[in-house]
Chains A and B, each alone.
Chain A
Amino acid sequence: GAGVSQSPSNKVTEKGKDVELRCDPISGHTALYWYRQRLGQGLEFLIYFQGNSAPDKSGLPSDRFSAERTGESVSTLTIQRTQQEDSAVYLCASSRDRGGYTFGSGTRLTVV
């Protein structure tokens, strides 16, 4: 597609439930990134996929967070047993080279 597509755009879930967030990167972009943005804050790196290399998971805040990507296509970020502190906007970005990322519009997650 023309841009990075994320779904859902908004998600409200009950504490303790699992959620799955989806990212469709720009076609041909080999790198895919997930970031978290809490209200009024900057972007916090979560995980990075580059082609078929092992992902850089160094930013995942706990083992409740996991992400997968099949080849150079869709990625899903899964949060298990959600907590209220998980409430944030989850942003996905993709890039082809070091020309900078293209971000999606994000998924706004609210845990109640």
Chain B
Amino acid sequence: GQQLNQSPQSMFTQEGEDVSMNCTSSSIFNTWLWYKQDPGEGPVLLIALYKAGELTSNGRLTAQFGITRKDSFLNISASIPSDVGIYFCAGGTSYGKLTFGQGTILTVHP
């Protein structure tokens, strides 16, 4: 089946620094989504991408849908302590089921 490779698995950063994470796939997706999950909660949608090459921002977050349709990255600028959590990428071939990456655990040191 389809698999997403998300990296890094975990990262530590200082408050104010920019961070970046990415997902790659051996399969083509026509939708890429990025979610954040806080402890004890379900994932919350951060950014949705629908077109190859699309670059979308949501506040301090920027994500891009790779031209090959097989990858996406998420950047967080000027990280703050509340950015701590687990970030998941997800790829979709329709608005049916999504395939999720394994997550990136982000820790921000004040």
Contacts and interface: CB of A to CB of B under 8 A. Distances in A.
A45 B102 contact: no
Interface string B51-73: 00000000000000000000000
Interface centre among A42, A56, A98 (most CB of B within 10 A): A42
Contacts, number: 55
A100 B88 contact: no
Nearest to B105: A40
A98 B31 contact: yes
A41 interface: yes
A79 interface: no
Contact of B42 (A41, A91, A95, A99): A91
A102 B45 CA distance: 7
Given A101-B45, A103-B43, A42 B102 contact: yes
Interface in A47-97: 48, 50, 56, 59, 91, 93, 95, 97
A100 B96 contact: no
A44 to B, nearest CB: 8
Given A41-B103, A42-B88, 14 more contacts: A4-B42, A33-B97, A43-B88, A43-B100, A45-B98, A48-B96, A59-B97, A93-B42, A98-B50, A98-B92, A99-B48, A100-B33, A103-B35, A103-B43
Interface of A: 4, 31, 33, 35, 41-43, 45, 48, 50, 56, 59, 91, 93, 95, 97-106
Interface of B: 6, 31, 33, 35, 40-45, 48, 50, 88, 90, 92, 94-103
7 contacts: A31-B95, A42-B88, A43-B90, A56-B96, A100-B45, A100-B48, A106-B42
